[in-house]
Homo-oligomer: A and B are copies of this chain.
Amino acid sequence: MPEFFNVLPPDEARDLLFGHLTAVLPSETIPTQQANGRVLATASTAPHALPQFRRSTMDGYAVRAADTFGASESLPAFLQVVGEVPMGQTAVVELGVGQAAIVHTGGMIPDSADAVVQIEHTQLVSNQSPVSSLQSPNFPFEIEVLRSVAVGQNVLQVGEDVRLGAEILPAGHILRPQDIGGLLALGIMSVEVVRHPRVGILATGDEVIAPEESAGPGQIRDINSYTVAGLVEQAGGLPVLGGIIPDNFGALETAAATLLAKTDMLVMSAGSSVSVRDMTVQVIDGLGQPGVLLHGVATRPGKPTIVGAINGKPVLGLPGNPVSAMVQFDMFGVPAIYRLQGVTKMPRRGLVWAQLSQNIASESGREDYVPARLEDGANGLVAVPVFGKSNLIYTLVNADGLIKVPLNKGGLLAGDWVEVRLF
C-alpha cells in the first residue's frame, strides 16, 4: 500500500477498528478477592437473598408495632422486656402481646416482632434495678416506649439489599471494591473474568537504543515501549515487550508476525519519517486480513497513526514521537483493550473543569489535544497549556492532563471553561 492519508476523525476511526475486532477474549475463573479491576465474563446472580434474615438497624427493642400505637412522651406504652437477641445468633425469644426483646444494630428480629423501637425513645420504668446499656440485665423488666413505631420501622427486610436470583452484576462490568464486597456478601467466592489481553509492543528505528544503554550521537533511548506498557497495564492488559527492531523490512516483518502470533494486539512505535511509516504499512498489510484500515487520524498530535486489524486483533502503528505515541495509544489502544475484555461501558477517565489561562489556536476539522498543567485560581482550577513539540516527552511529564479542542472549533479562548482529562 503506497503512502496515502485516508484521514478520519477519531470517533469514526475507532468505530472502524472496533468493527474488525474479535468479540471478547476467553475467560478464566479466579478467586473473587483477587478480581478487583477485572472484567466479568458472565452475569452474576444472587444465590440467596440478602439479608437472609430480618435485621435491626438500631440498638433498641424488638416489638410488635401495634403495642406502641399512640405512645408518646406524655402517654408512654408500657412493655415487658423478656429477653435479648445475642449478636450472631437465631432470635429464639418469642414475644407475646405487650412484650419486647433487646436487639442490637445488625441483630436478628424475632419472628413474633415486626418493628424496632430505638433505645433513645424508651426509658426504664422506675422501681427496678438499673439496667446499664443493656449489658447483662435481669429479665423480665419494664420499659416505657415514648414514641410509636410503624410495622417494619428500623427493620431491614429479607432481600431488601438483593432478592434471590436477581442479576447483581452484568457481563462486561469492571469489578470495583464495592462489587467484590457485594459478591462476597453472597458467598460468591470465585468469578469468571475475561483473561488479560496480551499486548505486544515493538519499538522500531535504527536510532533507537535500550534505555540502559549509553546514548551516542544520533541515538535516542526507547521510551515508547514503556509509556505504552504503562497505559496497557492501567487498562487491564499485559504488555509483552518485543524489543527494538532496526529499520529493515524483513526484520520488522519477522518480529511483528512472531509477536502477533502470541498476543491479542500488536503495537508498533513506527517512527516518524515517511519511509519508516510506509514500511510499517507494508508490514501490517503482509500480516493477514484485512490489514491497514486507515492511515491518518484527524488529530494533533498524532495525525500519521496507522490503524489496522489482523484476524480480529488490533494492530496499531504509532507515530514515533513520544507525545503522539501516548495520546494516540490512549485514543485507540486503550479502548481496544477494554473492548477485547468485553467492557460494555468504557470507564470514564477523570475529568476536571478548569478555566483556560490563554488562547489556544486550532484548525477546524481536527481534534487537538493540548497538554495542560492545573493550578489553583481565584475561581477554581486554572488550566495552563504546556506548549511543546510532540517530540518532547517532558511536555506530558509537566502536564496534569489534556485539553480537548473539539473537531470543528477554531480554537479556545482565555477564560473559557474547559474539560481537562487527567492523564
Which positions in A face B, CB cutoff 8 Å? Answer: 32-33, 36, 50-53, 55, 57, 59, 85-91, 104-108, 133-135, 156, 160-162, 168-169, 176-182, 184-187, 189, 205-209, 211-224, 226-231, 233-234, 247, 271-276, 278, 320, 322, 326, 348-353, 388-389, 391-394, 396-397, 422-423
Contact = CB atoms under 8 A, between A and B. Distances in A.
Contacts of A108: 217-218
Q: In the complex, which of the residues A160, A178, A206 has the most CB atoms of chain B within 10 Å of its own CB atom?
A: A178
A106 B33 contact: no
Contacts of A208: 88
16 contacts: A55-B391, A87-B205, A89-B206, A105-B271, A105-B273, A106-B271, A108-B218, A161-B393, A168-B394, A177-B326, A180-B226, A181-B397, A185-B220, A187-B211, A187-B212, A351-B351
A87 B187 contact: no
A212 B186 CA distance: 9
A184 B105 CA distance: 55
Contact of A106 (B59, B178, B273): B273
Contacts of A87: 205-207, 218, 247, 273
Q: In the complex, which of the residues A180, A216, A389 has the most CB atoms of chain B within 10 Å of its own CB atom?
A: A180
A230 B352 contact: no
A64 to B, nearest CB: 20
Given A181-B227, A207-B106, A397 B169 contact: yes
A196 to B, nearest CB: 16
A329 to B, nearest CB: 9
B397 A88 contact: no
A184 B161 contact: no
Contact of A217 (B90, B220, B229): B90
Contacts of A156: 389, 391-392
Nearest to A50: B394
A161 B208 CA distance: 17
Nearest to A230: B177
B218 A422 contact: no
A226 B33 contact: yes
A397 B168 contact: yes
Q: In the complex, which of the residues A180, A211, A212, A276 has the most CB atoms of chain B within 10 Å of its own CB atom?
A: A211
Contacts of A234: 177
A178 B352 CA distance: 20
Contacts of A53: 217-218
Q: In the complex, which of the residues A33, A85, A205, A271 has the most CB atoms of chain B within 10 Å of its own CB atom?
A: A33
A230 B391 contact: no
A211 B34 CA distance: 14
A34 to B, nearest CB: 10
A338 to B, nearest CB: 15
Contact of A105 (B36, B51, B272): B272
